[in-house]
Amino acid sequence: MEMNFSAWLRDTGRLYVRYMAVGLATLPMALAYAMAKQNGVSEHILLPVLAAAGTATAFYAWKKLGDKHVELPGVLAHSDLRWTNLWRDVEFQTKAAPVLQSLYVIQHVAATPLPAASQEVELQNFHLIEIWHRKGVHDFKQFQITLPKEDWLTFAITRKRDELLEDAKLQHKYTESALVKPREVTSFPQPVAFPFIPGAGLSLVKE
Amino acid sequence: MPVSDWLELKTLKLLSQHTISIVAAALSFFLVTKVIKYAVGAGPVAEAFEYVDEAILLILFLWFTYQMLLLLWKGRVKWGNGNELLSLVA
């Protein structure tokens, strides 16, 4: 409970900083608005211009600060008993299904190893993993990344979402000729919850 | 669509965080300009700072409204994104 509250407080503090940044970024426009208003410029002109320019600046400042929220604290995860139980189940599930045809879904990111037949790159100790990043209702970005074959799922879980995506982008950049280029995905499979962890949120998706 | 689909717990939590943050930020700007106005005394500079305050609060309010609508829109989309994991590991 204490931990939840501190996390909530930390996130609220970050949001406060972001709102303050938005306010500070629009300060030059506010000064211009004040000067124009003192010189008798009509509000009918000033207000729309201020709103448009201010919103654009706010958007930039908000994006620039970025969302630093860590959605899956991987380091903490290993020390938690409940996580350990979850972990064991995940490993069991992985071993029980050697031919993985399911998606691992966590936080707007879905990853799956590609079937061998469709792989353009077959490395001895690595799996070519396909990653979907869901950015909106119909907005998907797809990346591919090579991860250790033995524990690709372990790797995917312990990595933070942004790191995983960053790695995928970098790998794609440096091995562009070997990898399939990202393509837009038009449909996204619906997740099915793990039957052994009701409501745990870790989901496997049948392709 | 029932209200519970739009206002699930995570969305409510985010709404409260945004509301507290925007109120704190608006109060901060309001207090700072109040202090500046008090320091410079009555005159055109104080009047200018009043307009600056007005403009900043207006933009903050617009941005907050946009964020609220965005949160409500996102909260509408349910697809099991693993947020429940946080309650397991936290």
Predicted confidence band at A193 (pLDDT cuts at 50, 70, 90)? very low
pLDDT digits (tens, 9 = 90+) for A94-153: 443 333 333 344 444 455 555 443 344 444 555 555 555 555 545 555 555 556 555 555
The domains of chain A are located at 2-65, 74-206
Predicted confidence band at A64 (pLDDT cuts at 50, 70, 90)? confident
Q: Is the pLDDT of residue B40 over 80?
A: yes
Task: Give the residue from A203, A200, A83 showing the smallest Cα distance to B84.
Answer: A200
Q: What beta strand segments (E) does A98-191 contain?
A: 102-106, 109-113, 126-134, 140-148
Q: Which of B21, B55, B84 sits opposite A29 (nearest CB)?
A: B55
Q: Which of A35, A57, A200 sits opposite B88 (nearest CB)?
A: A200
Kindly list the residues from chain A whose CB atom is less than 8 angstroms away from the CB atom of residue B22.
19
Per-residue model confidence (pLDDT) at position A176: 33
- Min Cα–Cα distance to chain B from A60, Å: 12
Quote the distance between the C-alpha of residue A207 and its chain's center.
Answer: 21
Per-residue model confidence (pLDDT) at position B14: 84
Can you give the pTM of this predicted structure?
0.50
Tell me the residue length of chain B. Answer: 90
The nearest alpha carbon in chain B to A53 belongs to B59
Determine contact, residues A76/B86, Cβ cutoff 8 Å. Answer: no
- Min Cα–Cα distance to chain A from B40, Å: 16
What's the mean pLDDT in A176-186? 36
The nearest alpha carbon in chain A to B76 belongs to A137
Q: Is the pLDDT of residue A204 over 50?
A: no
